[in-house]
Structure 1
């Protein structure tokens, strides 16, 4: 009995010794991205394919784009994040601050919509968004209102007290809405004077509340306070999944392009694997799964979307032809001044 016990013990030790090298080959890399629906879609349906194919564990570091950028800057010499998802405005800042490295040349880059490829391929759009008009379908039906069609509907007196606007100083949706309306009033990304000077006589009287982000919208729609607000198709879809009576309308003047970009983080511990992950996330199969799992609109022209999503959006190729691309370099250069003016003049 003693001999058999000894043999069994030795066999167990041997088994552990054999298993250890195989286990140690499993690497872990980290990706920074928004939490919530995006994280859930990627962790449940997209990242497992990459993990299985490459014997690697991909761990999501959740946070807003600003949170992720702050982590990158705090650890820029020895970053813990290998690949970062950032909203395009924040990505422009990240690139200027030198925390991203150029993407390896790859056939997948040629499959992206042209506007999704950043200058010098320092990064690329992984999810396409469009800030357009979200509206309360229940309220519109009760009032007998036709769906909105124009950015200038925000200034239509019939919506007085039913417009909710995200703060342009803290929300990309709010900033996009302001810039789109500013453009209709004769301004540009370099000249926001028309938007600021005419706001009080156009959109301002209709606004019931300025909110710092979109978190409060679901509640305000259900209470009937919110009738019209800037929002993306993906965000509208998330609200619809919760049973909130909302719909998305594409403005006739064109929606404002909102990309979620990815970049490989400079000085990361495994640049080769990070580049491989970036190429995978930009591929048609990965983006098709992201669309099916979380209504993530693809930037890869060969990716597919579920029929319901396709029906809701319409022809994506037609939509992107009319989309307005903002000048983030100009915006970021003056953002602090605009934020201060917005807070003091618009939300006073």
Structure 2
């Protein structure tokens, strides 16, 4: 039965791409359609199609491309008669409609209704002037077209509630795939480092330290991670990259505790940092939160803010603590409690987020109405 996997756009890294890769393994004969593909090296075993936007400069600016996305998704011309569509959507991919077969059953895996237009307070990209101008119209369109899917799956209960409040639709929860089996099988990820500079980083780590890992953008609140470490008197390590790099480096020079910022680490270095950290602090409001799951798979307790899908990634009091707020004073109390937790079983703590669980559930989800 030929199927079509639909994805907003393909990047080299990202949580959404991890989901798409698992979907590809779940449906190895399915074709893939995206607005544009910035990493053709992925999905070589699938036929990957792009839309007309891929041939324009709009692919370099998602904000400028935004007004063209729904019209593009609504007029997709494909040469194959597909029996089903599975859309991985965090913006408008769920609105896709095929000219050749407009009534094909469409299943949507929703990372979230578009944060750009529904919750711009959680995503600074929604504050762009172009996005603000078109947001009211796109909210109306988005809600109307969300009535089309045969079924909707949410990546967390937090997103399930948002789907109900924005689209007026019910959904089932299927947690995203995390390669927890592979992570937990490696005794020491430091032994897998190939770059000498990364080996030096690991060898210079203090015995006890606080860790923050994410893109260096404002809503991730890495500034709060540093302030939390200072409040409890522990060294702090931040790993990632992004536009906030210089600001975070400047803040690090004024801390009263040792601070190290690791720019653009390899996956192996990220995992080595997680294994050695005393606690991972993850303040932002997220739709899910793969990073806290990865940390637990490597035996490290986590602390998160009180609102968001990331609170569903651990059992409070066992492998992590939910802070009363995302502010440093409360994160510090939670971090102290997390560090004092007993050792936990990493496998049992993260098993429900495994790739095999996701692939089993997503097949059943799409197979409901076959």
Q: What is the TM-score with the length of structure 1 in the denominator?
A: 0.35
Larger Rg: 1
Q: What is the TM-score with the length of structure 2 in the denominator?
A: 0.34
User: Hey, which of these two has a bigger chunk of helix by percent?
Assistant: 1
Higher RCO (CA < 8 A, seq sep 6+): 1
